[in-house]
Structure 1
Amino acid sequence: MTGPDGARRQGPLSVMWPQRFEAGHPSRSFPAYRGQRNFTGWYWSATCRGHVAYESWLERDHLMRFDFDREMIAMAAQPFALAWDDSVKGHLEHTPDFFVRRSDGTGLVVDVRPDDRISERDAAKFAGTRDACELVGWRYERVGALEPVFAANLHWLAGFRHARVMREETAAALREVFVSGAGLLHGARAVGDPVLVLPVLYHLLWCQQLAVDLQAAVLSPSAWVSQGRIGREGDGDADASAAAVGG
């Protein structure tokens, strides 16, 4: 791994696992070249208050999912490289796509790859990574595409993730309006001009201080909004986590 200070560190995972992988730098570069078919970039995470790199739009979607999930408190791309000898495939090396720190202190290691793009060698790498994670008490996920409705709603709410759209007076009024549940636009109009109120409402939905079913249908003026739950101390967010749908 490459630590926060830029220094390279290596050793058995059983020794290295206490490292703060979520604070490190990517363990390898993100190539960009003419004719490249995947889209690389940087996602600004409201959770991390900084940018996290991605190598495809699918990876970006999962960064949004982590950012939305109140159980996730930090994340990093390409956190470390693993190397081991497999009895069938021989020597294998693999760099997982993401490391995510959960609120209980445990780690989550994630590879993003659709089912139809996994070779036998890839499958062996993912299986070996899962085994390594289990040895140190981390969870491991290999995920594919998000469910389309959930992804569409997540993309929309992510546009309001930054605290700059927050107006506490308006937020307090919205929490009161939706305490027993109401239609999205009806509740917004009860507070004031929707042009001014809706950005705050969407921010509260992102923070999950207010709740809406993101799986059932694309957000609409009639979507039913109810009171959410306040989450991690100090951030004013809710602790309900987004459902992970994929690969």
Structure 2
Amino acid sequence: MRPASDLQLRSVQVRYLHPDGQEGRCPLEAAAEVAFENCGAIRRFPHRADQSHTPSTHWSSTTNRMIDCESYLESVWMTLLDFDPEVSGFSSQPMQLLGVDDRGTWKATPDLFVRRLDGSATVMEVKNPSRLADARVKATAERVRACCAVAGWGYELVGEPPGRQRTINVLTLAGYRREMVGVSNYRTQLLALADKRCRWGSW
């Protein structure tokens, strides 16, 4: 991998959406000041009858909101993030990087932005395992990784999550973490009643 200076990263601009939907833009050097974990997706995900991936929305138990995702594999990684106790928030494709280097003009839209409890952040690119060795994927990963180094973020290029059985278990348990519709205002009372019934043995 070439040094970050060879990629002319000082010219990189970061495009993003504020939580209220307004577009923002800043130089890469100032990107660390933006809470990308609270931003919406910077682009719309295409829906076509013949496409191979499956765009959808993911309910996050970490952020208690729906987050758009471009593929089933992305939704799996989001579910794993929801079970990571060190993760405080994450978002899907919240930024677009635009730059120029010795290979020409380029842009990249990383898949996931992850914020952790200690304030650190990681950008994740989620790719079909069969594409991890693709030349275009590797070229984009090189640029985005270098940008992340400037912003002070970690970077991960991932395919299938490690540990198939663990992933299956997490996906199974995830359904039981979702809020029950219409009862959030009565949570305290319901839990108190359930506790009384358990102690009285009246189930």
Tell me which residue corresponds to 2:120. 106
Query: Percent identity between the aligned chains?
Result: 32
CA–CA separation in structure 2 for the residues paired with 1:116 and 1:134: 26
Tell me which residue corresponds to 1:159. 175
TM value normalised by structure 2:
0.77
Q: In the alignment, does 2:48 pair up with 1:39?
A: no
Tell me which residue corresponds to 1:70. 85
Question: Which structure 2 residue ranges, 5 or more long, are not aligned?
Answer: 1-15, 181-186
Residue 146 of structure 2, aligned match among 122, 126, 131: 131
CA–CA separation in structure 2 for the residues paired with 1:20 and 1:14: 14
Displacement of 1:19 in angstroms is 0.9
CA–CA separation in structure 1 for the residues paired with 2:29 and 2:136: 24
* CA 109–86 in structure 1, closer or farther in 2 if over 3 Å, else same: same
Q: In the alignment, does 2:176 pair up with 1:150?
A: no
Alignment of 1:3-42 (within 5 A): 3-42=18-57
Q: Which runs of 4+ in 1 moved over 4 A?
A: 163-170
Displacement of 1:33 in angstroms is 1.6
Structure in which a larger fraction of residues adopt helix: 2
Higher relative contact order (CA 8 A, sep 6+): 2
CA contact (8 A) 2:32 2:152 kept: no
The residue type equivalent to 2:73 in the other structure is L
CA–CA separation in structure 2 for the residues paired with 1:94 and 1:155: 29
Question: Which structure 1 residue ranges, 5 or more long, are not aligned?
Answer: 174-191, 197-247
Displacement of 1:24 in angstroms is 1.2
Tell me which residue corresponds to 1:85. 100
CA–CA separation in structure 1 for the residues paired with 2:40 and 2:94: 7
TM value normalised by structure 1:
0.64
Displacement of 1:12 in angstroms is 1.1
CA–CA separation in structure 1 for the residues paired with 2:152 and 2:50: 41
CA contact (8 A) 2:31 2:151 kept: no
Displacement of 1:163 in angstroms is 5.1
CA–CA separation in structure 1 for the residues paired with 2:172 and 2:126: 21
* CA 11–163 in structure 1, closer or farther in 2 if over 3 Å, else same: closer
Structure in which a larger fraction of residues adopt strand: 2
The residue type equivalent to 1:11 in the other structure is C
RMSD: 2.3
Alignment of 1:158-177 (within 5 A): 158-162=174-178, 164=180
CA distances 1:186-220 after superposition (whole Å, capped 9, x unpaired): xxxxxx9xxx9xxxxxxxxxxxxxxxxxxxxxxxx
Q: How many residues align?
A: 172
